[in-house]
């Protein structure tokens, strides 16, 4: 146990002026030391003074190292650094893209407090906290709002479906078999195990009109974002992301019907015809329609579908990839044509770093050391699929 070792004479010297101390925090620290010297344990002191255990231990250690002087408040030497930016300079900086600043080494197109902190450090040689940046932005009446994160699902089977997906993701790489497929029939369990691969499938719309999200703007004004006007053609980008290797198949389609879902799933057979693909789907109508039942029955030895809970995009890890893509490629960004938008997305997927990709999957980079050497070919098959569709009629029609 940790106790404050205090001589009797010092204990009497500190106890005498307690009645005349007006600083409540200083009074509390002295009382904690005195009680600790009387062999009161840290948990007992935490309950008595309504403090956390770490704070009490810190007081005791500081006293033992520096005496009573060590209990005084620690204040930094010298004045606090000031942010050397006037209101006009803030208004000139915030509309620019952080990716245009070489020293920041980022592909982000929207400012965050962390990026502003790096900009001040790299270009203005000032180190300030994010709280100081927030205060400065508010002082200059530049507002920025972040949407609330709410995770709610009305699905009564939410725990069951979520646990089923998490169980599949916990399997070690290369150990997943057909016997691990949810609700595998008895006749499958009686046969030899077949290698299985887990993929997370999801689709997202890529509109010619740019996405508009939160960013810093002057109070009372609305930022102008270039757009094609009323014309807003779009493509559906389908992605199947294998977990945990990060390999994937990506295709672009003109619509989001069950025919396009089926065409995308057929690409998995070409990728690895001998494996059993366990595909995690969301509850979109194009993926839950009975019109796909015949397709899955025909290829039941090669495909098994698992539905995630309704209104639970956080369960599907590919949503993180879509969110990053929107933040860096399409938010507040207008491209001259839909074809250039599609080509920019392909190039972005091609340049996504291995480390960042591991971060999106929420896994340790060292766990995927066996695929790092071949990372440049991870998306090769997906690029070929997208490149094939870029030359198709749907892109040519929009560029006439």
Tokens representing 324 are 């990053």
Exposure string of 102-141, with b = 16+ CB inside 10 Å and e = fewer, is eebebbbbbbbbebbbbbbeeeeebebeeebbeebbeebe
Of 370, 361, 333, 336, residue with least CA distance to 348: 333
Which strands, in side-by-side order, build the sheet including 248-253?
Answer: 248-253, 234-243, 196-207, 276-281, 303-307
Instruction: Say whether pLDDT at 229 is over 50.
Output: yes
CA 231 to chain CA centroid, Å, is 32
Instruction: Say whether pLDDT at 17 is over 80.
Output: no
CA 176 to chain CA centroid, Å, is 26
Tokens representing 82 are 């000031």
Q: What is the C-alpha to C-alpha distance for residues 220 and 48, in angstroms, rounded to an integer?
A: 50
336 near 310, Cβ under 8 Å? Answer: no
Q: What mean pLDDT do residues 84-92 have?
A: 88
How does pLDDT run across 327-383, given as a tens digit for each residue?
888 888 889 888 888 888 888 887 887 777 777 777 766 655 544 444 433 444 444
CA 154 to chain CA centroid, Å, is 24
Query: What's the confidence (pLDDT) of residue 77?
Result: 56
Question: How buried is 216 (Cβ within 10 angstroms: 0-12 exposed, 13-18 middle, 19+ buried)?
Answer: buried
Instruction: Say whether pLDDT at 393 is over 60.
Output: no
Range of 153-167, 209-223, 277-291 with top mean pLDDT:
277-291
Question: How much of the chain exceeds pLDDT 90, in percent?
Answer: 2
236 near 252, Cβ under 8 Å? Answer: yes
The pTM of the full predicted model, rounded to 2 decimals, is: 0.58
Tokens representing 14 are 């500190």
Q: Which residues contact 196 (CB under 8 A, 6 or more apart)?
A: 176, 177, 178, 180, 181, 275, 276, 277, 278, 304
**What is the residue extent of each domain of the chain?**
8-71, 87-143, 158-398
CA distance from start to end of the chain: 79
Q: What is the C-alpha to C-alpha distance for residues 256 and 152, in angstroms, rounded to an integer?
A: 25
Q: What angle do CA 245, 246, 250 make, to 5 degrees?
A: 140
Q: What is the C-alpha to C-alpha distance for residues 314 and 245, in angstroms, rounded to an integer?
A: 19
pLDDT band at 123 (very low <50, low <70, confident <90, very high): very high
Query: What's the confidence (pLDDT) of residue 242?
Result: 84
Domain 158-398 superfamily per CATH: Ribonuclease H-like superfamily/Ribonuclease H (3.30.420.10)
Tell me the pLDDT of the chain averaged across its residues: 78
Peptide bond into 242 cis (omega under 30): no
């Amino acid at each position: 146990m940790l106790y404050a070792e205090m001589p009797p004479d010092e204990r009497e010297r500190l106890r005498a002026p307690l009645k005349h101390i007006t600083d409540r925090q200083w009074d509390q620290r002295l009382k904690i030391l005195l009680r600790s010297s009387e062999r009161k344990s840290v948990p007992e002191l935490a309950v008595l003074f309504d403090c956390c255990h770490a704070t009490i231990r810190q007081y005791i250690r500081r006293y033992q190292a520096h005496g009573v002087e060590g209990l005084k408040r620690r204040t930094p030497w010298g004045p606090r650094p000031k942010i050397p930016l006037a209101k006009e300079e803030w208004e000139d900086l915030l509309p620019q893209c952080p990716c245009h600043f070489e020293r920041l080494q980022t592909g982000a197109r929207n400012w965050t407090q962390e990026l502003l902190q790096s900009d001040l450090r790299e270009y203005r040689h000032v180190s300030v906290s994010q709280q100081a940046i927030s205060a400065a932005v508010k002082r200059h009446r530049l507002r920025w709002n972040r949407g609330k994160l709410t995770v709610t699902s009305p699905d009564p089977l939410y725990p069951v479906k979520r646990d089923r997906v998490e169980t599949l993701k916990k399997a070690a790489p290369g150990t997943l078999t057909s016997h691990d497929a949810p609700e595998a029939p008895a006749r499958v369990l009686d046969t030899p195990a077949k290698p299985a691969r887990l993929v997370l499938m999801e689709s997202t719309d890529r509109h010619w009109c740019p996405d508009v999200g939160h960013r810093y703007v002057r109070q009372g004004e609305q930022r102008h974002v270039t757009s094609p006007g009323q014309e807003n053609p779009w493509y559906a980008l389908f992605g199947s992301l294998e977990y945990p290797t990060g390999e994937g198949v990506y295709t672009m389609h003109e619509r989001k019907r069950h025919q396009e879902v089926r065409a995308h799933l057929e690409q998995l057979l070409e990728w690895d015809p001998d494996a059993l693909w366990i595909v995690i789907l969301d509850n979109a109508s194009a993926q839950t329609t009975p019109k796909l039942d015949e397709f899955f029955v025909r290829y039941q030895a090669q495909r098994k579908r698992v539905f995630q809970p309704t209104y639970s995009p956080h369960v599907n890890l590919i949503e993180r990839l879509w969110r990053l893509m929107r933040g860096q490629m399409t938010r507040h960004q207008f491209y001259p044509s839909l074809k250039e938008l599609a080509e920019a997305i392909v190039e972005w997927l091609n340049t996504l770093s291995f480390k960042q990709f591991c971060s999106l999957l929420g896994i340790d980079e060292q766990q995927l050391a066996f695929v790092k050497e071949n990372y440049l070919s991870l998306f090769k098959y997906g690029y070929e699929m997208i490149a094939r569709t870029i030359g198709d009629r749907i892109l040519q029609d929009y560029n006439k």
